[in-house]
Amino acid sequence: MTLAAHFGALATFFAQEDFLYLHRALHGDPTPFWSARFLSLSLWFRAIALPFGPSALAFHAASLILIAGIGAIVSVVMARSVKEPLAVAAGVLVVTSAILFVPARWAAANSDLLTALLLGGALLANAPGASSWRRNAAPLLFVLALWSKEIAVGAAPVLAWLELRSERPSRVRAGFYIVAAAAFALLAPWRMASYTTDWSAMPVNLARYVAAIVLGPAAAATFSEMQWAQQPWVAIVGGLLILAWIVVLIRRRNPHAWFAAGWFACLLAPVLPLTQQLYFYYAACAMPGLWCSLILLAAPRPDARVPRWLVPALAVVCAAQIAGVHMRERARMETAPLPVDFVLRRAAIARNAITDILPHVSELRPSMTFVTQQPVPSASGGNLTTEATGYKADPYWDWSVKVALYDGLAVKLFAPHVREVLFARYVGPEDSARTIVQCAIDGHARVTSYEGYANAPPYDSRDPVGSRKERAGRFIELRMFPEAARELQEAARLTPDDPTILINLGTLAAAFGDTVAAREAFERALRISPGDLDVRFNLGLIHWRAGARAEARRVWQPVLDAAPQSDLAKQIRAALAGQAR
């Protein structure tokens, strides 16, 4: 069932921090053993990368093995309280959960899976009738879980309570869980310290996580699972589910169901105060507790018959989860040929870029510059200074490529002689000694030299103005803004009364941050064509962003007077009202 739900993970490439931990594992890892997540992000990566190299298949196969192991432990633990078919169903519910989508496909998220497996082992070692050596192994497994991810601290009170309720309780072992968790929280680097927290957000976040686990497939095609969870109806539905859960817990008085609910609440508690990071996979360790508690409440005593409706209902839930996982796998963005899911999206970008770069490894210089192909709009949002690409402007375009390649570390992993990878907004003369990589929004890359990259039409002396404008257009497409600016300046010198050239020159200067040159170009264009509303809008916008608000209002007023219902006027009024960025 693990493969049925997550076989798509085997075809996924590495993403984001994966390249950092792979690079450390293959080129000497300086991480000290007392570091947080040392087991999952250092030893685990070394154990797989050293024999298999940077093989995404090996890492994701190992993640699926962890998931299968978690499901097996859940089934074994549940077999003590329910009939075998329901115990197996509990394991299947866990391994097919949409909550595990990201950990199955992101090697750096193995920490959640490894922690869940180790905590499950500690729980199994504390099972009734366990031998003395098994019970002594439970604290060790708990420490290893802490060493994998700090969320394991939530299991300390549950394991301590379980120890004290055992046939041969040991206060030493029970106290060890609490002391170890407290020591880890105080001494180890706490990764969540940099996150925004609010203790009052815990009840709402608890409701959101419950809804995410039960209704996870409903978020399959959404752009952001965090945004999905922030919708008011999600918290309301989650709250109603919790209320119904508590009512049934009180009525059934099933101690095993209460224990599973306690496991869920305690393992989720460390992430509930987070106000910004509500990732579904944070519930990976806690999620088995919820499903087990629900099955224990729905199932009769172990010696009674299973209700006829229960097994089909569990089958429907499992099928819905698997369908949700595959829907999320296939969901694609409307504006680009990329997956909606952020891990799959960045993995796809990285795979495309590395696949296109690898054949040119021997040609790569020690320093490289990545430049993307996003169009450069004019300040008014009207005329485009490049040809249309067929995509809507994406404010995260450049950033997504950079994050997907982890600031270029992905390139250094496969081409160790590369020492510097830069991500530039445009290409300038200083890049002449570097390899230029022209990268599309989906990561596909064209590797060339500076000379090969600057493939502009030759200058035609028979049509100097037209030739300069054509060359400038080509340079802008290549994001070689300084060269484009020089061509437009020459064209403006030859035809000083052409406001169109000055508008493009000002827009271009603004695109690469030269607001002084942009203002001068727009002012010249305004003197030539004082009635041009686009020029007035652009010049006013330059003044507005520079803080010269009175001057911006003076320049903008004729636009408001001449075309009060135009898009330009609407943008001006929005700026004046403090609504524009």
520 lies in a domain? no
Per-residue pLDDT tens digits for 394-439: 555 567 788 889 889 999 999 999 999 988 777 777 788 889 888 8
284 lies in a domain? yes
Same domain, 420 and 277: no
Distance in angstroms (rounded) separating the CA atoms of residues 483 and 454: 9
567 lies in a domain? yes
pLDDT score of 512 more than 70? no
Q: Kindly indicate the confidence band of residue 5, based on its pLDDT and cuts at 50, 70 and 90.
A: confident
For the purposes of burial, counting CB atoms within 10 Å of the CB of 28, is it exposed (0-12), middle (13-18) or buried (19 or more)?
exposed
Q: How much is the pLDDT for 568?
A: 82
Q: How much is the pLDDT for 393?
A: 44
**Mean pLDDT score, 42-55:** 93
Same domain, 23 and 152: yes
pLDDT score of 458 more than 90? no
Q: How much is the pLDDT for 389?
A: 33
Same domain, 110 and 207: yes
Per DSSP, the residues of 383-433 read SBSS---SS---TTHHHHHHHHTGGGHHHHHH-TT--EEEE-SS--GGGTT
Q: Kindly indicate the confidence band of residue 386, based on its pLDDT and cuts at 50, 70 and 90.
A: very low
pLDDT score of 177 more than 80? yes
497 lies in a domain? no
* HEC readout, 222-276: CCCHHHHHHCHHHHHHHHHHHHHHHHHHHHHCCHHHHHHHHHHHHHHHHHCCECC
pLDDT score of 563 more than 60? yes
What's the whole-number average pLDDT of the chain?
84
Same domain, 410 and 302: no
Q: How many structural domains does the chain have?
A: 3
Distance in angstroms (rounded) separating the CA atoms of residues 260 and 301: 16
Say which range, 264-268, 291-295, 339-343, has the weakest mean pLDDT. Answer: 339-343
Same domain, 564 and 430: no
Question: 225 or 92, which is more confident?
Answer: 92
Q: How much is the pLDDT for 162?
A: 86
Q: Kindly indicate the confidence band of residue 580, based on its pLDDT and cuts at 50, 70 and 90.
A: very low
Q: How much is the pLDDT for 402?
A: 86
Q: Which residues lie closer than 8 Å to 417 by C-beta, 6 or more apart?
A: 364, 366
pLDDT score of 474 more than 50? yes
556 lies in a domain? yes
From 438, 453, 468, give the residue that closes a domain.
453
Distance in angstroms (rounded) separating the CA atoms of residues 333 and 335: 6
From 453, 476, 508, give the residue that closes a domain.
453
pLDDT score of 123 more than 70? yes
pLDDT score of 246 more than 60? yes
CA dihedral 60, 66, 69, 74 (to 10 degrees): -120
Same domain, 368 and 324: no
pLDDT score of 92 more than 90? yes
Q: pTM of the predicted model, to two decimals? A: 0.78
Q: Kindly indicate the confidence band of residue 384, based on its pLDDT and cuts at 50, 70 and 90.
A: very low
Same domain, 178 and 298: yes
Q: How much is the pLDDT for 300?
A: 63
Cα–Cα distances in Å, from 336 out to 339, 408, 412? 9, 22, 27
Q: Kindly indicate the confidence band of residue 67, based on its pLDDT and cuts at 50, 70 and 90.
A: very high
Q: Kindly indicate the confidence band of residue 127, based on its pLDDT and cuts at 50, 70 and 90.
A: confident
Same domain, 355 and 406: yes
Q: How much is the pLDDT for 391?
A: 34
From 304, 330, 356, give the residue that closes a domain.
330
460 lies in a domain? no
Same domain, 449 and 565: no
Q: How much is the pLDDT for 396?
A: 54
Q: Kindly indicate the confidence band of residue 378, based on its pLDDT and cuts at 50, 70 and 90.
A: very low
Residues spanned by the domain of 346: 342-453
Same domain, 129 and 17: yes
Say which range, 261-265, 280-284, 489-493, has the weakest mean pLDDT. Answer: 489-493
Q: How much is the pLDDT for 448?
A: 85
Same domain, 322 and 366: no
Say which range, 41-55, 123-137, 378-392, has the weakest mean pLDDT. Answer: 378-392
Per DSSP, the residues of 266-319 read HHHGGGTTBSS---GGGGTTTHHHHHHHHHHHHS--TTSPPPTTHHHHHHHHHH
494 lies in a domain? no
Same domain, 160 and 260: yes
3-class DSSP state of 189: coil
Per-residue pLDDT tens digits for 12-28: 999 989 999 999 999 88
Residue 392: Cβ within 10 Å count: 9
462 lies in a domain? no
